Amino acid sequence: MKGRRVFSLGWFGFVGLLACSPTIQAATVVTHPFVGVKYYHRTETSPRPLVMHILEIDLTAPGISVAVTPDNGAKPGETTRQRTSDFVAQLGAQIGINGTFYTTAGSGPGPGGVTEYYANLTYFHYASGNPVSTWSGTGDPDERGINITSNNVATFIRPFAINQADYLVRPTATVLYNAISSYDGILITNAITATDANLHPRTAMGLNANRTRLYLLVVDGRQTGYSEGMTTIEVAQLLQSDYGVTDAINLDGGGSTTLVMADPVVRVVNRPSDGVERLQGCNFGVFATVPARPSFIANSQQYFADGRFQGALSGTAGAKYEIHVSPDLQNWSLLSVLQMTNSSAQFVDTNATGGLRFYKARPLP
C-alpha cells in the first residue's frame, strides 16, 4: 500500500536452561537447542520429587548422527573408561549420555603418562561398524539393543540365540553400525516388560514405532527433596504414555546416570547422585547442528492490495524460527513459526494494514 513502510529488525535471543530451585514444582519446559532436537526439562512432585530430562531426536533431521565409545585396541578390556563430558568434548558432539553396564578391567598408562582405566562391557556393543562386545549369552529373554546405521536407520535388536555370546542379531538383515544394548528391555513391541520396582537414578533410550525418533531419558535420584529416582516400570510407562515410545532399554543408572550438552560449552545438565561424574564403560553421543543466526532477506518484501505483507528469512535448513510482529516496538506478538526445509522460508502477515509494522526473528527456543 502506497506510503506504508514496514521495517525488519533482527532479534537473536538465547533461552538457557532453568536453574533448579530448592523447592521443586511440577513443570515442563520445552526447548529446541539444536536442529532436530527437542528437550523436555520436567519436574514432578508426585508420586515423589523428580527431575527428568528427555531428549527427542529426529533421526531424519539434517545434521543428526550418533556415536558410541569405540574399542580400545590392544589395551586391557574392551573400552577405555571416560567421563561423559570428556567423551562429548573429544568428539565435538552436542549431546552425550552414559551407556550400558560394565565391569572394570584394570588400569594402565595413558597419553602423557596419565593413568587410564579400562572396562569390559556386559552387553552387545558395536562402534562405527566394528564389533566391541558380544551379547551376554545368559539366556535373558529381555536382552535388547538399539542399532543406528551411518544413515540413521534405527533398529531395535535382540540376540539371534539368547544362550549364545556372539555378534549375531535379529532382525537378521540389520546392518550393524553403532549399537548399544542392555539386559533390560523395558518396552518391547509396545508391551511393558520392566520389572525393577526399586527407586534409582535412571538412564534409558527408546524408539517410536516408525523408528524416526530416538528418545534419551535421564532422571536424577537418591537426592531427598530434589529428585528421588524412578522404577524401570515407571520409566517404561512414562516413555510409552507421554512420548509414544514403543521399544526401550534401561541403561546403567545409579551414580552413572549422566546427561551432557554442549550448548555451546560442554556441561553436565543433570545432577549425578555421586556429586561428580563417573568414568563410564561406554557413552552414547549425538551430533546436531546449532541453528544459525536468522536474517531477513533483502528485497524479498511484497505488498498486496488486500493488506498482506510477505517477506523471507534465511537460516539453517531443518531449523525452526519464530517471527514476531509489533506496531510500535513495544508490544510484540508471535506471527508465525517457520520450518526451514532449505536455508530460507517465506512468512506472511495477513493484517499489515495501516501504520508501521516491525518484524524480528529468532531460533525457536
Question: For residue range 197-251, what is the model confidence (pLDDT) as tens digits?
Answer: 999 999 999 999 999 999 999 999 999 999 999 999 999 999 999 999 999 999 9
> Rounded to whole angstroms, how far apart are CA atoms 110 and 76?
12
> What CATH number is associated with residue 321?
2.20.130
What is the DSSP code (8-state) at residue 82? B
User: In which domain, by residue range, is 350 found?
Assistant: 6-13+291-363
Q: Tell me whether residue 114 is in a domain.
A: yes
Residues 67 and 163 in one domain: yes
What pLDDT shows up at residue 305?
Answer: 82
Q: Verify that 44 and 127 share a domain, yes or no.
A: yes
Alpha helices in the chain, H assignment, sequence order: 84-91, 232-243
- 145 and 100 in contact (C-beta within 8 Å)? no
Percent of the chain with pLDDT over 90: 86
Beta-strand pair 357-363/6-8: parallel
Which stretches within 201-249 are classed as H helix? Answer: 232-243
Give the model confidence (pLDDT) of 33-87 as tens digits: 999 999 999 999 999 999 999 999 999 999 999 999 999 999 999 999 999 999 9
Domain match, 156 and 80 both: yes
| pLDDT given at position 25 | 76
Count the domains in the chain.
Answer: 2
Query: Per the domain annotation, does 22 fall within a domain?
Result: no
Please report where in the chains the cell 556441561 appears, as a residue: 267
Looking at the fold, whether 324 and 256 belong to one and the same domain comes out as no
**Closest alpha carbon to 80 in 35, 139, 120:** 120
Q: Are 293 and 331 in contact (CB under 8 A)?
A: no
Question: Distance (Å, rounded) from C-alpha 221 to C-alpha 272?
Answer: 8
Q: What share of the chain is helix, strand, coil (3-state, %, to 5)?
A: 5, 45, 50
In this structure, the answer to whether residues 125 and 54 fall within a common structural domain is yes
Q: Residues 267, 271, 276, 281: what is their CA dihedral angle, to the nearest 10 degrees? A: -80
pLDDT band at 23 (very low <50, low <70, confident <90, very high): low
CB 171 within 8 A of CB 146: no
pTM given for the model: 0.90
**Cβ neighbour number for residue 172 with a 10 Å cutoff:** 7
